[in-house]
Structure 1
């Protein structure tokens, strides 16, 4: 009886795990992906994420580094497009998003 139970559990386990993709199947190995990983690693700080998360994420980022003009222009346009979709002033709230929308709308509303 115990043998049959173990055999049944083994069969279910094999059948369930056989169709699942392995994590290595989902990893990007293209040149663009490896270049992006290298860029991210070059900017990351020396601390581990559990030791000093801010340093791990922002460690070598220099706030004075200039963002490339095409990327900056696109970011500004995307933000303006998002804010333009807010057709009315948002209600008073301590929410930072609401404050941003209100400030933008006060500068762009024309009567």
Structure 2
């Protein structure tokens, strides 16, 4: 589970999620939440400064400090789950939905 300090409450639990197919051995649509990190196919971000979004369940707004493909950047990122366990990730001008992959463990991704 993501450990939060400050004004944030519960955030989405650690897990592996995929936009298309959890059973595929490799997927560029796979996302892993583990501790204070969210990892994509070729990018990993450290999630900092969590703030709960009042009235939105586990929705938490972070600063994401990211590295990938030879670049480094920092951006605001909203992470939440919806009914059914799907992970929703929202950034500046984009949003993605990922289904949970219960047979995959974050420590093995």
Higher relative contact order (CA 8 A, sep 6+): 2
TM-score class, shorter-chain normalisation, is: under 0.3
Q: What is the TM-score when the length of structure 2 is the normalising length?
A: 0.18
Pick the structure with more strand per residue: 2
